[in-house]
Amino acid sequence: MSTESKTRGPEEQYLNQSARPTAVSRYDLVLAVIPLAFLLAAAASGVLGVSLSTALAVGSLLGIAVLADALFLHPPTGGGPTN
């Protein structure tokens, strides 16, 4: 029998963490809205008969607005993730 204490490596610590997802943050939503704006613009192009380039331009403006809000108007604080 060994009396040495075992220490776990980073790989084992990662495997032992809970697989339950944490709460969705504001910045997760920002990352979801950007491609969603392009998908909605492409769908609106087909439904409304607007040219695809015009619809994607409007979708990109929405994506830029969301990104500017997340980066400049409500920037991340130094808190970091909480576990």
Render pLDDT for 23-50 as a digit per residue (tens, 0 to 9): 888 889 999 999 999 999 999 999 999 9
- Cα angle for residues 25, 30, 36 (degrees, 5° grid): 130
pTM attached to this predicted model: 0.63
Helix 26-48 with 52-68: angle, nearest 10 deg: 160
Contact by Cβ (8 Å): 58, 41 = yes
Q: Which residue has the tokens 């969301």?
A: 66
**What percentage of the chain reaches a pLDDT higher than 70?**
69
Distance, in Å, from the CA atom of 31 to the CA atom of 50, rounded to the nearest integer, reads 26
Contact by Cβ (8 Å): 63, 37 = yes
